[in-house]
A and B are shown apart, each in its own frame.
Chain A
Amino acid sequence: MSLSRIYAIYVRQIFLLRSNPTRLATVFLWLVIDILQWGFISKYIGSLGQATFSFITVILGAIILWEFMSRIQQGILMAFLEDIWTQNFINFFASPLQIREYLCGLVLTSITTGLAGFFAVVAIAGGVFGYNVLRIGALLLPFMFILLIFGIGMGVFVSAIIFRLGPSAEWLGWPIPMILSLFSGVYFPISTLPPFLHAFAKFIPASYVFESMRKILASGTFPPDLALNLFAGGLLALGYLLMASRFFLRIYRKNLENGNIARFNAEAL
């Protein structure tokens, strides 16, 4: 693996972000809108019926972490789509660039944009709603790590599908976080779902994060099964990332055989 080539893929995306302010909007705008909207909704719900429970604490924290994961997934997807839209594959893959280096460059880009968005919303949540996402302390790190790995896995998986089916499949990438959020306990506990759907949640790494976080925030104590939850969530996330990466490599090799890299554009597929 060459750091220079990984940096080439990364710096290309950074050049793009720097050159056009509208690209920065994709990193920050939706996040800011989301956090403001959910912050005010939570504030309003909290003011009804003399609630003693802080909705902002539960909902805003979940939204911030969920958006972090979604942005990681979409960061990879956006960087990948950028290369499709500008038809760069021939020049890139005819260079010494290896497919693993290419993927690393995409991941590095998405971590940069994902973290930039995360710190922006943390600041807004603190400044506007007095919410401090860091209140759970060092535990935030393993939670974020699981979400980061799962987000990368999803981004790589969706990119692989588009690599196989062509740019017309790009719409697949956008609703996935929304669908997964239903089974991840982001906005409500898994127990709210009908029992037959609980099984789905067990296969989603993010559900371990949000269930644990909710318990910590509600009770102020660490649940006894926390370590087990972190382990299960982490293991699942790493497993999915590994499978997604293998899937991407497989699609790449298939494309080398059938010539799709050489003729990869919107018209050809």
Chain B
Amino acid sequence: MPEPILSIVNVTKIYDSLKAVDRISFAINPGEIVGLLGPNGAGKTTTINMILGILEPTHGSIEILGKDVRACGSDIRKHINFAAVYAHMPANLTVRQDLYVFGLLYEVGNIREKIRFLLHEFDLERFADTKAGLLSSGELSRLNLAKAVMNEPRLLLLDEPTASLDPSISQLIREKIKRYMLSTRAGILWTSHNMNEIEAVCDRVMFLSHGRILLSGDPKSLPAQHGMGTLEELFIAVAREPLCLEHEVGI
């Protein structure tokens, strides 16, 4: 077995009296795309923020490439990156300037050449000197993704990367991410509310409910294992009747 890129053991996050994440454990292996699913407020973004190191877990350990995130934060973050709809690139800089600033932050080598490549790869050449705040949702998503892969991360975290995009752009973005994974063998954690998308890209999914991992498995066979026709039906069941499923899986 290869060493996992990400290993999370018994991680809990408590805000005051609210348990946002409750003793979750999972791992992501090289070349694996794992879907983190669940209704709003289930703890997906909290989990991603803890992996990114911008939120400290109350208990438990998070290791990336065998190193503890809390102890080796800056060194570890050179090897990870992320894209999320809520994490804005500086809107008052141009696309080129944004990529330059983040290239410096990630200490990307041959930065100008890299920016040229990314602008071409993500079809952003026309917008290189346009301020990021003036881009459409699709263009912004492509910019976020260009930033997310510019340091060639071993672990890529994608929090609803295709939210609010039309199906054509969503598919293009999915293809780019899959291509990136195949060429680099990076591990990817992907959250989305689009179950067709999850089924198309993920090797494995985990359902979170009230901060706990309720179910996990192959997105193609998991619905049938729980008496559902589709992943979407399973999602709805997790969102509306988590207690029944908890009972069923013995939590």
Contact = CB atoms under 8 A, between A and B. Distances in A.
Contact of B49 (A2, A19, A262): A262
Contact of B55 (A2, A11, A92, A259): A259
Contacts of A93: 53-54
A199 interface: no
Given A11-B104, A96-B107, A262 B89 contact: no
A91 B146 CA distance: 13
Given A8-B101, A15-B97, A96-B75, A2 B107 contact: yes
Interface string A86-103: 111111111111100000
B49 A95 contact: no
Q: Which 10 A-B pairs have the closest CB atoms?
A: A8-B104, A94-B52, A90-B87, A95-B105, A96-B77, A262-B49, A96-B74, A8-B105, A261-B54, A256-B56
B77 A11 contact: no
B91 interface: yes
Q: What's the interface size class on B, roughly?
A: 20 to 34
Interface of A: 2, 4-5, 7-8, 11-12, 15-16, 19, 86-98, 256-259, 261-262
Contacts of A4: 104-105, 107
Contacts of B46: 259
A248 B62 CA distance: 26
B49 A91 contact: no
Interface of B: 15, 45-46, 49, 52-56, 73-75, 77-78, 82, 84, 86-94, 97, 100-102, 104-107, 147
A2 B89 CA distance: 21
Nearest to B57: A257
Contacts, number: 87
B55 A262 contact: yes
B77 A94 contact: yes
A31 to B, nearest CB: 24
Contacts of B15: 258-259
A90 B86 contact: yes
Q: Which of B53, B74, B77, B91 has the most CB of A within 10 A?
A: B74
Contact of B74 (A11, A92, A98): A98
18 contacts: A4-B104, A8-B105, A11-B104, A12-B101, A19-B92, A86-B90, A87-B88, A88-B88, A90-B84, A90-B87, A94-B54, A95-B106, A96-B77, A96-B107, A257-B56, A258-B15, A259-B46, A262-B55
A158 to B, nearest CB: 22
A90 B105 contact: no
Contacts of A258: 15
* Majority secondary structure, B binding face: mixed
Given A16-B92, A97-B74, A91 B107 contact: no
A88 B86 CA distance: 10
Chain A interface, DSSP helix/strand/loop, else mixed: helix
A90 B78 CA distance: 15
Contact of A91 (B55, B78, B89, B92): B89
B55 A256 contact: yes
A178 B193 CA distance: 52
A43 B92 CA distance: 43
A15 to B, nearest CB: 5
A262 B107 contact: no
Contacts of A86: 88, 90-92
A82 to B, nearest CB: 8
A239 to B, nearest CB: 28
Nearest to B102: A95
Given A8-B102, A88-B88, A261-B54, 19 more contacts: A5-B104, A11-B100, A15-B93, A15-B101, A16-B93, A89-B54, A90-B88, A91-B87, A91-B147, A94-B54, A96-B77, A96-B106, A97-B74, A257-B56, A258-B15, A259-B15, A259-B46, A262-B45, A262-B55
Contacts of A94: 52-54, 77, 82, 87
Contacts of B73: 98
A256 to B, nearest CB: 5
Contacts of A91: 87-90, 102, 147
Contacts of B102: 8, 91, 95
